[in-house]
């Protein structure tokens, strides 16, 4: 079942021709999808992603949990905002819990979503039963999405006649078909039939430093935490472990062999197995 709370006012697309639509929300009511029954589990996608990316994993976990899949602000069908720090994203999750009267949840987040879950767990530890972080550490990361955002900004999507045309132009700029296909999941048509980005491309561009920033909080998170990394990914290194354990004293690490940063896509069965094993422990 999909739930959309349209507490927002649409404004015209900006004049840059990139198809970015801007939105002002009365409150940050996140679009979400909901599956299954049982204890609540929230899954947060990464940068340029959406709730749709996690449906396959969610369907398996929904056999034992009520799985909530929100689109984070500036992504998917959720409202856009110029403010995009991890304090904002964690605040959105706090509001989400309040809206659905969820007192305590399991949190699972990948990449940017992993940092959001870490921030939330550190600021609101009593609201999190268990924490699962997929292929990201709490440290600061160097700027590395600037070329991708530039490609999205400069692509004249409102003038595109087909997705194939947009694909060809993005591929010329980015050079990796898998990345291009992932980004194009954010391309949609507006009411007039013209293409636009669901993403708040300009908002993301203005906050790239904040997206790469380190995560800290008011507390440590002293409940069970699992950090999952891909053996072929360089996002979480052995030397990151002391800093992880300082913030998350009960943290444990699992490595999925043969997986890159997109470990849940490349090794979905192994990823689910690791998650289920962790959640089954009391």
Is 144 tagged catalytic?
A: no
Is 111 tagged catalytic?
A: yes
Tokens standing for residue 113: 């979503």
Q: Pairing relation of β-strands 32-35 and 2-3? A: antiparallel
Distances (CA, A) of 169 to 3, 23, 166, 176, 218: 34, 27, 5, 12, 45
Q: Exposure of 201 by Cβ count < 10 A (0-12 exposed, 13-18 middle, 19+ buried)? A: buried
- The DSSP annotation for 43-92 comes to EE--TT--GGGGHHHHHHHTTTSEEEEEPPTTSTTSPP-S---HHHHHHH
Question: Which of the following is catalytic: 50, 111, 233, 264?
Answer: 111
The answer to whether residues 148 and 249 touch, using CB atoms and an 8 Å cutoff, is no
Report helix, strand or coil for 280: helix
Question: Does an H or E element contain 225, and which?
Answer: strand 225-230
Instruction: Please tell me the number of Cα atoms within 13 Å of 281 on its side-chain side.
Output: 13
Distances (CA, A) of 161 to 29, 134, 152, 193: 32, 37, 16, 10
**Nearest 5°: phi and psi at 130?**
-140, 150
Task: Round to whole Å and give the CA distance between 24 and 32.
Answer: 18
Is 261 tagged catalytic?
A: yes
Question: Which of the following is catalytic: 88, 202, 233, 264?
Answer: 202
Query: Catalytic positions, please?
Result: 111, 202, 261
């Amino acid at each position: 079942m999909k739930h959309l709370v349209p507490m927002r006012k649409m404004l015209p697309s900006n004049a840059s021709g990139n198809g970015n639509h801007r939105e002002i929300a009365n409150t940050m009511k996140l679009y979400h999808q909901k599956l299954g029954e049982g204890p609540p589990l929230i899954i947060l996608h990464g940068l340029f992603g959406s709730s749709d990316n996690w449906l396959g994993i969610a369907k398996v976990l929904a056999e034992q949990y009520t799985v909530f899949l929100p689109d984070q602000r500036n992504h998917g069908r959720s409202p856009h905002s110029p403010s995009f720090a991890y304090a904002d994203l964690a605040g959105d999750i706090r509001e989400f819990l309040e809206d659905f009267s969820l007192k305590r949840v399991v949190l699972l987040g990948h990449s940017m979503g992993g940092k959001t879950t870490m921030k939330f767990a550190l600021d609101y530890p009593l609201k999190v039963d268990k924490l699962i972080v997929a292929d990201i550490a709490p440290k600061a990361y160097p700027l590395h999405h600037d070329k991708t955002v530039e490609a999205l900004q400069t692509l004249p999507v409102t003038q595109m006649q087909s997705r194939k045309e947009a694909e060809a132009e993005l591929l010329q700029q980015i050079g990796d078909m898998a990345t291009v296909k992932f980004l194009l999941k954010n391309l949609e048509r507006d009411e007039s039939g013209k293409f636009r980005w669901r993403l708040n491309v300009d908002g993301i561009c203005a906050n790239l430093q904040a997206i790469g920033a380190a995560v800290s909080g008011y507390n440590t998170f002293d409940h069970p935490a699992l950090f999952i990394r891909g053996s072929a990914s360089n996002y979480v290194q052995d030397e990151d472990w002391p800093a992880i354990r300082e913030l998350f004293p009960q943290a444990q690490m699992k490595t999925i062999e043969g997986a890159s940063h997109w470990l849940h896509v490349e090794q979905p069965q192994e990823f689910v197995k690791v998650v289920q094993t962790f959640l089954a422990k009391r």
